[in-house]
Structure 1
C-alpha cells in the first residue's frame, strides 16, 4: 500500500504546509488533512491603553488581534519567522525572537523593551512567558485572543491509520502530539517528525517506527524532516513488498 502523509495542524496552517510539501516532494504525494485542533478567535476587551510593546508567539494570535484592533504603533516582538510574516501582513514591523518561546523570553529580558508589555496568546500554551519574566519585575500583561479546541480525526484519517502500512506524521506542537497519542490507534508503521524536542517528548518513541526532530522550529526544517521520513518510509515499504 502507498505510504501517506497525515497533517493534523489547524486548517489554515495545514493548507499552507500541504502546499509546501507538494512543491517539495511532488504534486502527487498523498496527503491527508485532518486537524486535531480548531482555532477559534475570541472577542475579549484588549487593554491597549498605555501599552508600549506587543508580544506574539503564534500567527493565530496576530490574526486574532488584527481582527479586533486597528492600532499598529506598538513595538512588536514575535517568536519566529512564521509569526513575523503574519505580523508584517498585519502592518507591524516585528522583531523576531529566535524561533522558540524560551529564546523570545531571553531576548525580551536582554532588550528590555518599553513597558507595559502585552502578550497576546492562545488559551493553551507550551511555555509560560509570564513566568519566565516574573522575576525581572517586568510589567508584563496577557490577554487570551483565541482558543485551540480539540477535534476528532476525519473518517478518512482514521481509515488511513487502520489500513495503511506506513504513515508519515509531522507534529508541530506538544499539545497536538499529546492529543494524537492519547486518542489514536494505528496498524502500520508510523514515521513521526517533531518540530522541537518539546514536541518529541510527547511521542512514545517505543511505539513508532521512526522519530526525527527538526533542526530548528521552522517550516523549512520540518519540510526537511518530512521529506527524509517520506523517503525512509517508502524505502521500508518497498522492501516489505519485495519479500
Structure 2
C-alpha cells in the first residue's frame, strides 16, 4: 500500500491515504490552502496531501470501514472534507492559525478565457481580435510572430509535426532546463519545472483541468509570461 507524507513543514505524519486530505482541484479553493500553509518555494503535484490533524473536526468526514463482498477484504471509503474548508492548525509552529474558514461563490471559479469554447471557423478567429486558436497547424504557422519578443529574449523553441516545446536554458552552473511548456498537436499543454510536471490542478488559473487545452493565444502568453521570469 502506498504511503504518504504530510506536506506541512515540521509535521511527521506518514502513512496511508486514510490519514490525509488531498489539495483541492478548484483554483480559488486551492489558492486558499497554499496561502495558509506555512511553506515557500515548493512544487505541488498529485501526491501532495495534508494530514487531518490540521483541520477542524467539523471540516472532515471520518472513514467508514467497508467489506468487499467479492474477495472478503476490508477496506475504507475515501476521506472527504467539506466544501471550501482549509487547514487551520499548525502546532509545529507553536500557535494555531486562527483564521476562519472561507467560502466563495461558485461564480468565482469561472474564467472565460479558460472555459469558453473555441471557434469553428477562420472567420470566428478574425471576429474575436484574433485571440482564438483553431488548430495545431494554425498554431505552428502563427506562433513565431505572436511571441517574437519572448522568443528573442527568453524562450527557445523546438517544433515538430506532433508537438512544440518552449523552454528556457540556464548556464549559470551547469546546463539545465528550468522550465518547459509543451503544446501537442491536440493543443494540450504540459508544463515542467526542473524536470517535474506541474500538476494540472495548479494550472486551472489558465487551463481547463479536464482537458488541459489552450484555445486562445492569451492563455499561452500568460504561461510564457509567468514561467519566463
TM-score, normalised via structure 1 length = 0.24
Q: Which of the two has higher C-alpha Rg?
A: 2
Kindly indicate which of the two structures has a greater share of residues assigned to helix.
1
TM-score, normalised via structure 2 length = 0.25
**Which gives a bigger RCO, structure 1 or 2 (Cα 8 Å, sep 6+)?**
1
Kindly indicate which of the two structures has a greater share of residues assigned to strand.
1
